[in-house]
Structure 1
Amino acid sequence: MNRLVGILLAIAAIVAGGAFFGWKGAILGLSCVVFYLLLQFTQLMKVMRTANDAPMGHVSSALMLQSRLHPGMKLIELIKLCRSLGVKSGENTYRWTDAGGDAVDIVMERGVVASWQLVRAPGSPEDDDGQPPAA
């Protein structure tokens, strides 16, 4: 949700509660806003706890990560997808590497995915034309 929209909804909840039910309604509106913020904080802590359990910059499959990315994906969604934090490899670039040596470099701008690039490991099973070998 847009930050400005969230702030306006919080103010509207407090004002509407105060207008309809007096000071008790304003307290109820404030309680709802605080409850929503606590839910968001709990979700963030759960994602960070999951990321803490994994090695930094490691992902199970770089190819699968690359296929699930889309422009505009928020950082919290990316961390949920990777289940780890990325290793900073540039000014706005972070890298996730799998066990086979393949990596995904993701460029973040303002907390959202702007672009990404799959980096194949040397000696990966590809022919000279970039296609995987036929079985």
Structure 2
Amino acid sequence: MNFRKYLIPIGIACLFIASYNAWGWQGPITVLGGVVMWGLLHYTRMMNVMQKANKSPIGYVGSAVMLNAKLRPGVNLLHVVAMTRSLGELLTPEGTDPERYRWTDGTRSFVDVEFVNGRVTKWELTRPQQPEDHASERPTDAISPTQS
């Protein structure tokens, strides 16, 4: 169960009560100012991330390998979008949980990321098969120095 949606409002309410007990009406007004400031900072960060993501194609990342190295369990979707500077390509039907997104780079490598309740749970890097290089193999019809 997602306790954050309950703990944060309860924590803010406790902060209001404690500030009223300590400083009267000035305390809750100060706490309200802090909560509004936090909300504005969060909103500004979210808008900056979305403006940067708007400039990239959906599902594109500079390096899928680097994204794979930077991902950690529990990171939220906004943080992943900030890392990739792109919205992911949605692979699951809209509104289902877990959600799966894909980010692909220029070498056709891609990372599929699964989000449960908006947080990374698992991810998988897939790299395309490279054609075998036959130029590095030895020719089989070469004459050895012992033959003559």
- Per the normalisation by structure 1, the TM-score is 0.81
> Pick from 94, 97, 103: which aligns with 2:101?
94
Q: Tell me the amino acid that sits aligned with residue 121 of structure 1.
A: P
Give, in whole Å, the separation in 1 of the partners of 2:48 and 2:131. 37
- Aligned-pair identity (%): 37
Distance 1:69 1:125, change over 3 A: farther
Partner residue in 2 for 1:133: none
Unaligned residue ranges in structure 2 (runs of 5+): 94-98, 134-148
- 1:41 CA displacement: 1.4
Q: Residue 114 of structure 1 aligns to a residue in which SS?
A: strand
Tell whether the 8 Å contact from 1:13 to 1:30 is kept in structure 2 after alignment. no
Give, in whole Å, the separation in 2 of the partners of 1:40 and 1:3. 16
- 1:21 CA displacement: 2.1
Greater radius of gyration (CA)? 2
Partner residue in 2 for 1:44: 46
- 1:79 CA displacement: 1.0
Partner residue in 2 for 1:119: 126
The question of 1:2 aligning with 2:4 is answered yes
Partner residue in 2 for 1:130: none
Matches within 5 A, 1:4-19: 4-19=6-21
RMSD: 2.1
**Which range is displaced more, 17-26 or 107-116?**
17-26
The question of 1:104 aligning with 2:111 is answered yes
Q: Tell me the amino acid that sits aligned with residue 110 of structure 1.
A: N
- Per the normalisation by structure 2, the TM-score is 0.75
Unaligned residue ranges in structure 1 (runs of 5+): 128-135
Deviations 1:86-134 (A, max 9, x none): 0012342111010111111111111111111112224x3678xxxxxxx
More helix as a share of residues: 1
Distance 1:44 1:14, change over 3 A: same
Matches within 5 A, 1:15-30: 15-30=17-32
Give, in whole Å, the separation in 1 of the partners of 2:63 and 2:15. 44
- What is the number of residues matched between the two proteins? 126
Tell whether the 8 Å contact from 1:57 to 1:86 is kept in structure 2 after alignment. yes
